[in-house]
């Protein structure tokens, strides 16, 4: 039986290796701080080959970029399917932030519902519903089951995140309030979730090392979008809301995304656009000033 080269793991390994090595080599001579630049600088100390360094940097990039983008896609779908959660989050943003400035990282502790929303979107539709495969390093027994050394273990993250005994009878639904206590603050997470309130980031010592970066990225992205925008369902030619597929997925290989859907996005208030444009200009000016300062420091 003929097999296409495009379906062979070795072929994709070759393609990815060439891509990662090319991108990694572009970092050589770049004095900006980054993981790739650090790996280049410490190549002798780490005793890694160029290919190993390239794959290390490429894996970190892919793990952060694809997963965050996938989570935000599920977030957009949730805002359409559960508009009441969007309204509550926007009410919290108006009360804490107002409409004269954008949310910043320092606001996080004062936005518990936004934080609960992040926990819930990661629980409700994990982009890696069966987690990452792990290999047992020695013989083990677990609840009467013998696991030989070298076994590949795959955790059913989807089921664990939707266990009704832990998350309630509405575990299949998007409900950020499940992560709040009676005072409206973030409640303690279930045991063994490292206070994440879900197992999407994995377990134990192999817990995702980038989870703090991911949580911060999702916080600033989601809070800014909800502060500035209304995210709504579209209307079909008959004047009815477009039907949504909350269970259909596309397996992109690294992450699982929802089926394509339409969305209507509009500014929440007239000033939001100008405020964001002002912040973008300030950010560009700051980057320019940092570049000048770096140039001066190298000169002297």
Residue 107 sits in a domain whose CATH number is 1.10.630.10
- The residue with greater pLDDT, 278 or 111, is 111
Q: Using CB atoms within 10 A of its CB, is residue 190 exposed (0-12), middle (13-18) or buried (19+)?
A: middle
Residue 117 within any structural domain of the chain: yes
| Residue 16 counted as domain residue | no
**Is it the case that residue 299 has pLDDT exceeding 50?**
no
Q: Which domain holds residue 171?
A: 49-292
Global pTM value = 0.83
Kindly tell me the burial class for residue 43, based on how many C-beta atoms sit within 10 Å of its own C-beta (0-12, 13-18, 19 or more).
Answer: middle
Distance CA 294, CA 288 (A): 10
Asked if 74 and 120 touch (Cβ cutoff 8 Å), the reply is no
Please indicate if the annotation marks 208 as binding a ligand: yes
Query: What whole-number distance in Å separates Cα of residue 53 and Cα of residue 49?
Result: 6
Q: What is the pLDDT of residue 300?
A: 42
User: Which range scores top for mean pLDDT: 36-45, 102-111, 283-292?
Assistant: 102-111
Would the CA dihedral through 156, 190, 59, 218 be positive or negative? positive
**Residue 128 located in a structural domain:** yes
Confidence of residue 6 (pLDDT cuts 50, 70, 90): very low
- The verdict on residue 40 lying in a domain is no
Residue 91 is predicted with a pLDDT of 98
Query: Token pair for residue 204?
Result: 């134990």
Angstrom distance (rounded) from CA 247 to CA 218: 22
Q: Is 53 exposed, middle or buried (0-12, 13-18, 19+ CB in 10 A)?
A: buried
Provide the domain count of the chain.
1
pLDDT at 287: 65
Tens of pLDDT along 116-141? 999 999 999 999 999 888 889 999 99
* DSSP H or E segment with residue 122: helix 112-124
> In the beta sheet, which residues pair with residue 134?
153
Cβ-Cβ contacts under 8 Å for 148 (sequence gap 6 or more): 136, 139
Distance in angstroms (rounded) separating the CA atoms of residues 151 and 31:
43
Taking alpha carbons only, the member of 119, 229, 215, 258 closest to residue 175 is: 119
Q: Burial of 74 by CB count in 10 Å (0-12 exposed, 13-18 middle, 19+ buried)?
A: buried
The continuous run of DSSP H or E covering 249 comes out as strand 249-251
The verdict on residue 8 lying in a domain is: no
229: helix, coil or strand?
strand
Rounded-to-integer distance, Cα 208 and Cα 201, Å: 5
Does a structural domain hold residue 108? yes
Angle between helices 50-81 and 9-26 (to 10 degrees): 100
Return the residue matching tokens 């004062």: 110
- Give the pLDDT band of residue 27 (cuts 50, 70, 90): low
Beta bridge partners of 249: 258
Q: 28, 70, 64, 24: which is closest to 209 by C-alpha?
A: 64
Q: How far is Cα of residue 255 from the mean position of the Cα atoms in its chain?
A: 10
The region of weakest confidence among 17-26, 51-60, 279-288 is 279-288
How many Å is the Cα radius of gyration of the chain? 23
- Note whether residue 23 is domain-resident: no
**CB within 8 Å of 278: residues ≥ 6 apart:** none
Mean pLDDT of 150-166: 94
Confirm whether 36 is domain-assigned: no
């Amino acid at each position: 039986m003929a097999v296409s080269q495009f379906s062979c793991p070795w072929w994709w390994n070759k393609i990815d290796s060439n891509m990662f090595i090319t991108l990694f080599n572009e970092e050589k001579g770049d004095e900006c701080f980054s993981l790739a630049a650090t790996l280049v600088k410490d190549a002798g100390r780490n005793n890694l080959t160029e290919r190993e360094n390239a794959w290390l940097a490429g894996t970190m990039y892919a793990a952060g970029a694809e997963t965050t983008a996938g989570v935000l896609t599920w977030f957009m779908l949730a805002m359409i399917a559960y508009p009441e959660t969007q309204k509550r989050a926007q009410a919290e943003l108006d009360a804490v932030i107002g409409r004269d400035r954008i949310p910043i990282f320092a606001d996080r502790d004062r936005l518990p519902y936004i934080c609960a929303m992040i926990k819930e979107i990661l629980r409700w539709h994990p982009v890696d519903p069966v987690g990452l495969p792990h290999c047992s390093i020695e013989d083990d027994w677990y609840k009467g089951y013998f696991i030989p050394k070298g076994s590949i273990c795959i955790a059913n993250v989807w089921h664990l995140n939707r266990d009704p005994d832990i998350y309630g009878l509405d575990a299949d639904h998007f409900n950020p309030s499940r992560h709040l206590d009676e005072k409206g603050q973030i409640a303690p997470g279930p045991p063994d979730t490292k206070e994440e309130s879900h197992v999407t980031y994995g377990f134990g010592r192999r817990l995702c090392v980038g989870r703090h970066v991911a949580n911060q990225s999702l916080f600033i992205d989601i809070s800014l979008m909800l502060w500035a925008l209304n995210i709504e369902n579209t209307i079909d030619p008959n004047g009815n809301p477009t039907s949504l597929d909350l269970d259909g997925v596309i397996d992109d290989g690294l992450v699982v995304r929802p089926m394509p859907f339409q969305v209507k996005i509009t500014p929440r208030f007239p000033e939001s656009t100008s405020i964001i444009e002002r912040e973008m200009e300030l950010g560009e000016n700051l980057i320019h000033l940092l570049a000048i300062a770096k140039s001066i420091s190298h000169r002297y």
